[in-house]
Amino acid sequence: MNVSNLTVTAGNDEFYPTPEPLAVKLLSMIESTDIRNILEPSAGKGDLVRAIIKKNYTKYGGRSTDVDCIEIDPYLRQILKFEFSEAGQPEIFGRYYALRDKYYDERTKKEQRELDQLEEQIAIIHSAEVRVIHDDFLTYNGVKRYDLIIMNPPFSNGDEHLLKAIDIQKDGGEVVCLLNAETIRNPYTNTRQHLKRLLDKYGAKVRYVENAFVSAERTANVDVAIISVCIPREQERTSEFWERMKKAHVVDKQNECTDVAVTDFLENMITMYNVEVAASLNLINEYNALKPKISRSIKGEYSSAILTLTVGTDGNCCQVCDINKYLHQVRAKYWEALLNNKQFTGNLTSNLQKKYHNLINKMADYDFTKFNIQAVIEEMNSELVQGVKDTILAIFDKLSVEHSHYPECQNNIHYYNGWRTNKAHKVNEKVIIPTYGMFSNYSWSKQTFSVTTAYEVLSDIEKVFNYLDGGMTENIDLDRVLNIANDNGQKLNIECKYFTVSLYKKGTTHIKFKNMALVDKLNIYAARNRMWLPPNYGKTHYNGMSAEEKKAIDEFQGAEAYAKVMADTKFYLFDATASLLAIEQKTEPAVDETTGQYSLF
């Protein structure tokens, strides 16, 4: 027996089943697209439930739906339980089994179409879990979270039902409700006035429908209002542990005395680290104390807990022995945040940044403290000196000898007889390097050139010149320059910080350096490191050199240019041992305007 069209018993004056056209209007007021857990608190015989299940299945590709129902009428509760079971659909399932059991070649085309339709109906039925969980919505005290509460409550006290639904969703969720229009139009009672204030607070949408039940299963001459209320989920909850630990660390900081000079940025990172660790350890200890009380068995003293606390994503329960595992991960989080700060490590070339990040796991063995930050930076500076040397020499080779075998790139390099070698070379003012993937092969592409590829080609060159320059040249943001050129359709003579660059579709990038003194500095650095210049280069004036030494100087640059070097050795003789990371730099973290918290990640 299908009971979906049964009429209400005479004694239930409040029951007005939602007609299908009105149900469609209610569903159209739903704003969220991710609706899985639903409450229907005045479910009747399931008209709205059936509509939302069908919509979720057909519109969102077979999505499953979990529906809790509340219904005060015991007769209607029985209908609900029966209607959403296989027993409640005898015609559908009976006909389906009859057609399914026929051999394929025995079915007519009409029967096959019918079978396909029945399969979809059954799939919709099976896509939902529908259960009756309570009788009177106004006495319901459950704590389950719902994505949506959709309802057609009794007209006599619909305002109370809607207030109850909004209260359930106060931590975030959606409510779509059908009310007598007078409840909204004429807020003459305290309850209605309170409802109006809440609807205004949450920016509720209201749609009026005239004579909505004039042709319904149970008719009524009434206008209705469909109300849609979307309450955003709280982005950040207040944590008692966090607030208590934060206050404690403010007091500790006021009493703290240290000789280590750090910036406000690092001070705030260290404070956040200390607060997070203290609050988390508090939580872990509280959990470990609670764990025996929430075991899976009432009598099972040693059974596992229902609620688990994990560290990381591998699913291992957090026990006392896992505290060290937690500390390792949270330390790594803060060390990584420090290394991701562009002002802190942005001047490092890509290979050096990679080397830095490979050390994070090692750094995670150390607390994120002032002492350790200073010690790690000093250690890493010393480790990175060789990295800087290697990077400068790699870029020197890229701009000179690496591509010189290409006919178009032969002028990159200038050969000379160096100190006891005839294989020395240096970079010229203009350089051509082959590049690939700079221009799209697709006709639909709107880009003049690939900004990402251009940045990858040029950024390490620029950073090497940053090392050599020592911050003397006014900064020009490379990424911004390339994006502007791309937007303007410019490929030639793009003005960057240390050079102008032209990009050609044949697969070459032409670089012309602006400051030849920096090019000289690069050539001097490479020549000294590869012993192409006399050992006393930069220490002895030209006139004090031997004939052999003078010959090497003449080949490399000449006596006049060498005199300029001797006059300004601080500039020309680059020292790679200088600190790459300055802990005293004025680096400020971004501040979230909503929360006022420092954003470090």
Q: Report helix, strand or coil for 464.
A: helix
Q: How far are the Cα atoms of 175, 470, 553 from residue 561, in angstroms, in the given order? A: 80, 21, 9
Q: How far are the Cα atoms of 29, 519, 545 from residue 567, in angstroms, in the given order? A: 79, 17, 16
Q: Where in the chain is the domain with CATH 3.40.50.150?
A: 20-231
What pLDDT is stored for residue 423 in this prediction?
85
Q: How far apart are CA 176 and CA 225, in angstroms?
A: 10
What pLDDT is stored for residue 280 in this prediction?
85
What pLDDT is stored for residue 203 in this prediction?
94
CA angle 564, 567, 573 (to 5 degrees): 80
What pLDDT is stored for residue 345 in this prediction?
66
What pLDDT is stored for residue 7 in this prediction?
45
Count CB neighbours of 393 within 10 A.
16
Q: How far apart are CA 149 and CA 244, in angstroms?
A: 36
Rounded to a whole number of angstroms, the CA Rg of the chain reads 37
Q: How far apart are CA 514 and CA 511, in angstroms?
A: 10
What pLDDT is stored for residue 239 in this prediction?
61
Provide the token pair at 275: 């607060």
pTM exceeds 0.75, yes or no: no
Indicate the DSSP class of residue 217.
S
What pLDDT is stored for residue 110 in this prediction?
85
Q: Which residues of the chain have pLDDT under 70?
A: 1-13, 61-62, 86-88, 216-217, 234-263, 299-303, 313-322, 342-352, 376-377, 379-384, 442-444, 471, 577-601
Secondary structure of the chain: what % helix, strand, coil (to 5)? Answer: 50, 15, 40
Q: How far apart are CA 23 and CA 461, in angstroms?
A: 65
Nearest Cα to Cα of residue 99 among 112, 85, 109: 112
What pLDDT is stored for residue 214 in this prediction?
72
Cβ atoms 427, 412 nearer than 8 A: yes
pLDDT tens, residue by residue, 338-377: 887 766 666 566 666 777 777 777 778 788 888 888 776 6
CA angle 559, 563, 569 (to 5 degrees): 135
Which element (helix H / strand E) includes 37?
Answer: strand 37-40
pLDDT tens, residue by residue, 473-495: 888 889 999 999 999 999 999 99
Q: How far are the Cα atoms of 68, 80, 134 from residue 77, in angstroms, in the given order? A: 12, 5, 9
Q: How far are the Cα atoms of 32, 422, 572, 574 from residue 538, in angstroms, in the given order? A: 72, 21, 9, 11
Q: How far apart are CA 374 and CA 426, in angstroms?
A: 38
Bridging pattern class, strands 37-40 and 65-70: parallel
What pLDDT is stored for residue 11 in this prediction?
45
20-231: CATH architecture: 3-Layer(aba) Sandwich (3.40)
Q: Given phi > 0 = left and psi -120 to 50 = alpha, else beta, which region is 61?
A: left
What pLDDT is stored for residue 301 in this prediction?
56
Q: How far apart are CA 478 and CA 463, in angstroms?
A: 10
